[in-house]
Amino acid sequence: ENPIGAALELRSVSKKFGDFTAVDGISLTVEPGEFVTFLGPSGSGKTTTLNCIAGFEEVTDGEVMLGGKPLTHTPIHKRNIGMVFQGYALFPHMTVEKNVAYPLKQRKLPKEEIREATDFALEKVGLTDFRHRLPVQLSGGQRQRVALARAICFRPPLLLMDEPLSALDKALREQLQQEIRSLHRDLGTTVVFVTHDQDEALALSDRIVVFNQGVVQQIGTPRDLYQNPANAFVSGFVGES
């Protein structure tokens, strides 16, 4: 019943802004249904790489493959990728329900299907009773749950999250980490999650990709990275967030 997450592959992806190389030939594979986190200090190229996957940025070189197909010439709205941002990016004048239904309406689905998918997503994030509220009437955590519901309502094979919890306090952050994990288990969607917070990466991920100055410094499971004191992961990021 659950759709399987799609495989994601980056083949020597580079992104330049003028003479400056923000992403320098990154290659990696994310398995279907895997939860992978991009971890690294500010400016290391995490968001730019995510934007190349989403289609907000055009790659300068290389190729992004989703489900075995190149995305280079696929416009954003046809990539079928769910997105969650740090700043929620909700429409302030729309109710919770209308925010969540927005991508479904864009896809011109029949009313009945829109209703069903919206109910499904709101239930998944526990906001069924808040459907008629406006974003301004919600807490930060609830707003991010709305953004999550909007990102999963069309059952995307890939979900991208860019520092979605960074604006929240620690207790709420940990609670939402749990919720995101169980949502991921439940849906089977492939996830790429960006953070500069090492503990968050350790708590969430199947594998962690450590970025540094536009290149991949290291890839491994939380256990691999945590147990290997010889790597930059442990020595380089402690105390940084």
| Chain residues in the site for ligand ADP (CB under 6 A) | 17, 20, 22, 40, 42-48, 211
Amino acid making up residue 161 = M
Nearer Cβ to ligand ADP (58/186): 58
Per DSSP, 3 falls in state P
3-state secondary structure of 216: strand
Closer CB to ligand ADP, residue 153 or residue 211? 211
- Taking alpha carbons only, the member of 148, 125, 124, 146 closest to residue 137 is 146
DSSP state of 117: H
Task: Give CA–CA dist 123/121, Å, rounded.
Answer: 5
Encoding tokens for residue 210? 């450590």
Comparison of 46 and 143: residue with beta carbon closer to ligand ADP: 46
Tell me the pairing of strands 158-162 and 20-30: unpaired
Strands 69-70 and 61-66: antiparallel
Compare residues 11 and 16 and give the one whose CB is closer to ligand ADP: 16
6/50 with CB nearer ligand ADP? 50
**Min CB(171)–ligand ADP separation in Å:** 25
| Residue 65, phi then psi, degrees to nearest 5 | -115, 130
